[in-house]
Chain A
Amino acid sequence: MPFNLASDAEGDRPVVDVRVLEELVGSEPEVIADFLAQYRASARSLGADLRAARDAGDLAAIAGAAHKLKSASRAVGALALGDLSAAIEQAARAQQPEAVRSLLPSFDLAFASVERTIAQHLAAS
């Protein structure tokens, strides 16, 4: 089974649908692996920014980090994480700290599955 078919909690969607990234950069395995590694580095740093902003209660910084994570995640096909980031961005911009807090557990979960899926892919390639 190709790694990108590992599905998320909702069942149907792959955690990381690599076809999305292939559309953008082509299907050479080394290039894909390189971009996934790049994405992981970016995502880790943005995830850390987001958590720091949460701890500081800085909604604008939360929105900024979530925004970037949204677009990077959608580019690599991490669609569920992209959607959750979008929801957090929106809630933060709407000044709704309660809504942000309620989204964070799912976000952490999605983040962890993306990490795991990419790690598996990089190990396999």
Chain B
Amino acid sequence: MKILVVDDEPFALRLVTHQLGRMGFSDVVAHERATDALAMLQSDAHAADVILLDLQMPEMDGVEFVRHLASLRFPGGLILLSAEDERIIETVRKLAQAHSLDVLGALHKPVTSEQLQRLLGGAAKTPMRTPRTEAKRYSPVRLMQAIAGGELRNVYQPKVELGTGRVAGVETLVRWQHPEDGLIGPDQFIPLAEEYHLIDDLTRTMLVKALAQARAWAESGLDLHIGVNVSMDNLGALDFPDFVARALATAGVRPEMLVLEVTESRLMINTLAALDILTRLRLKHIGLSIDDFGTGHSSLAQLRGIPFDELKLDKGFVHGALHDAANRTILEANLGMAHQLGIRTVAEGVEDREDWDLLKRLGCQLAQGYFVARPMVGADLPGWMVEWDGRRAELVAG
């Protein structure tokens, strides 16, 4: 792995280079001047697989460097280093991600070899990301055929109670089983569906399948809430509440068991139609959840007027929050306010034991994420539950 270190302070530069050498990374290039590093990358964007970048440099700061990397479409991984406040590192991290750079992590200086190993170990396992331009883009017509032809399939990710370990429900996620290209993730077709107004059809198809699955689970004795993502387009269609009510009746599922998850960033609560529809759904006793909370601009106080009963904390604030004071503060504030408003809380992105223990300690009610389970097809859920039963006692006791 080729590693480029950029830090204008010679001591810091030597220190990190030495640490990398001790860890067995021999192909390390160190630059004191950001402009030299950029010149190297300009002549060959593949000159480095991973860049370790200090944010505080007088002639060109980290933000500017990140912008240059983005314009070069740097395909490798980026690790941000700084002795700055954690919030500043976090802001730059989000900025770099917004520029579609592959940010492996952000570390506070001085960094330990273990921290570097953890981030670089991950980078070594995943091959260099293919640049976005090469990602296959499907035509809206092809996607329409896929929706109509049943090529989209649902997978389900469990939500479990942090206090008791009980499996409370699942979130429905969608995959495209493409006959030639194999399994395609939602990132590659949901934006397309939204752009071409196919999302309403897609959601309705998913919803009907999800309810049939919920019914099948109920018949085998599993009483699970079922979450389905809805978009602003769905909420713009005035017949949506009636459609949902009919689908529930057809499947024979109680409305209380359905939770519609609305992404916060797309939630334009000032549109009267959306508020109208949300209220009608709620009046039908269908659960409403705010998804990806914290990524948009609304605060819980602003959302108080909407009858939500579940709040999902975005994974960006959850995973690794133990080591990130800013994210921990955000979590605590949101959990506190949600409790005051009587809203159920779900943490997304619970990826390891540390995340689990922290969220449990902070009083969050439900957890979802790879630490609990990856999304799975409906038929696999009962088997997973048996396995989960073996793990849960220890997790709850801690």
Contacts and interface: CB of A to CB of B under 8 A. Distances in A.
Interface of A: 20, 23-26, 31, 35, 38-39, 41-43, 64, 67-68, 70-72, 74-75
Interface residues of B, number: 17
B110 A71 contact: yes
B363 to A, nearest CB: 33
B174 to A, nearest CB: 46
A25 B18 CA distance: 7
B58 A23 contact: no
B22 to A, nearest CB: 6
B9 A42 contact: yes
A42 B13 CA distance: 11
Nearest to A25: B18
Contact of B9 (A20, A24, A31, A71): A71
B38 interface: no
24 contacts: A20-B110, A24-B15, A24-B110, A24-B112, A24-B113, A25-B15, A25-B19, A25-B22, A26-B22, A38-B14, A42-B10, A42-B11, A43-B11, A68-B12, A68-B56, A70-B83, A71-B9, A71-B12, A71-B110, A72-B9, A72-B11, A74-B110, A75-B109, A75-B110
Nearest to B11: A42
A67 B83 contact: yes
Q: Which among B10, B11, B112, B113 has the greatest number of chain A C-beta atoms within 10 A?
A: B11
Contacts of B9: 42, 68, 71-72
Contacts of B10: 38, 42
Contacts of A68: 9, 12, 56
Given A26-B22, A38-B10, 5 more contacts: A25-B18, A38-B11, A41-B11, A71-B12, A74-B110
